[in-house]
Amino acid sequence: MPHSSFLAEVRDAVTPRATLLVVGVIALQLLFIASYVGALHDPKPRDVPFGVVAPQAAAGQAVGRLEQLPGSPLDPRALPNAAAARTRLNHRDIDAALIIDPRGSTDTLLVASGGGRVLSTTLTALVTTLEKSERRTIRTIDVIPSAPHDPNGLSSFYLVIGWCVGGYLGAAALAISAGAKPSNPTRAAIRLAVMALVAITGGLGGALIAGPILDALPGGTAALWGLGTLIIFAVGAATLALQGVFGTIGIGLVILLVVILGNPSAGGALPPPLLPPFWKAIGPALPPGAGTWSTRSIAYFDDNAMTGPLLVLSAWAVAGAAITLAAATVRRRATATQPP
């Protein structure tokens, strides 16, 4: 009897639903480890947009030589002059530029550590090695340096992570308080409205902390506020949508998309050119990647190259809101057609 009583207690304590949830947690845990280690363990530059400034004949030779490097670390293109190189850097069309001096033995490398210090350091080391093989030297100029209180260029990434966490935790709290699946479109609309208020508040708070309070990021506070609001609402709306369709399991799906897939591919710890191909490809389509790119553009690149990322975030917000309302409508109709 004691043995059967113990088994009964086990069955009561660990229901089939709880077992499935625990298995799901273990799967997410292993995916988390695999994604972060897989994306970040072996950084190598791959097809980094790279400018070359030199007289026409020398530029062609230099571009050809850089294109033939093993592993294709650089994607070189000839530029007419140093001013064009600086403009392309500011517009985020290239990540570095080599200005070759045909009359001397010292060339100039332009980098932008505001886009990620790891990348600028990697490119400096690579070009230094190449120059030594040609018996030349370089001097490095950081034309868009990271802020003094953001030496590694990671504050933008951490800010976006905080905004994303606010988005999915805020939506999860709204769902858990009264059932993951909203019972009708009105309730779904109310949750979306509350999520918008959460986004406005969290966006402002994050912008103030990273900007005026801690002085970690330059750039306009209003622009960061608007971006933070969009990021929080996009992630929150996506969370409400997945909860509306899948119930509590939707929270796990959000963690899979935003945390397990989104954070390692966001270009924060390692800028996109240093990520493996899979992570480099998916990063721009997920909120952490689009948000990190946009935050750096606001902070360091005069708001340039933000159209694509803002469209991505807007798509997440609009699709999340539409699916949330549609799921609630379908659920209400299904409930109405059930016999009493």
The owner of tokens 């994306």 is 39
* pLDDT recorded at residue 217: 94
Structure confidence at residue 179 (pLDDT):
58
What's the pLDDT tens digit per position in 265-279? 999 989 999 999 999
Q: Is 80 exposed, middle or buried (0-12, 13-18, 19+ CB in 10 A)?
A: exposed
Under 8 Å between Cβ of 120 and 94 = no
Region of residue 47 (left: phi > 0; alpha: psi -120 to 50; beta: else):
left
Q: Tell me what pLDDT residue 42 has.
A: 82
Is residue 141 classed as helix, strand or coil in its secondary structure? Answer: strand
What does the pLDDT look like over 213-247, one tens digit per residue?
999 999 899 999 999 999 999 999 999 999 989 88
> How confident is the model at residue 1, as a pLDDT?
46
Look up the pTM and report it. Answer: 0.90
State the pLDDT at residue 328: 87
| Predicted local confidence at residue 103, as pLDDT | 87
Please state the φ and ψ torsions of residue 61, each to the nearest 5 degrees.
Answer: -65, -45
Instruction: Provide the sign of the torsion angle of the four alpha carbons 19, 25, 29, 34, taken in this order.
Output: positive
**Mean pLDDT per 10-residue section of the chain, whose length is 340 residues:** 62 71 83 87 91 89 92 94 96 96 92 94 94 92 93 92 95 75 79 95 97 92 97 96 88 91 94 94 97 97 96 98 92 61
- Please provide the average confidence, as pLDDT, over all residues in the chain: 90
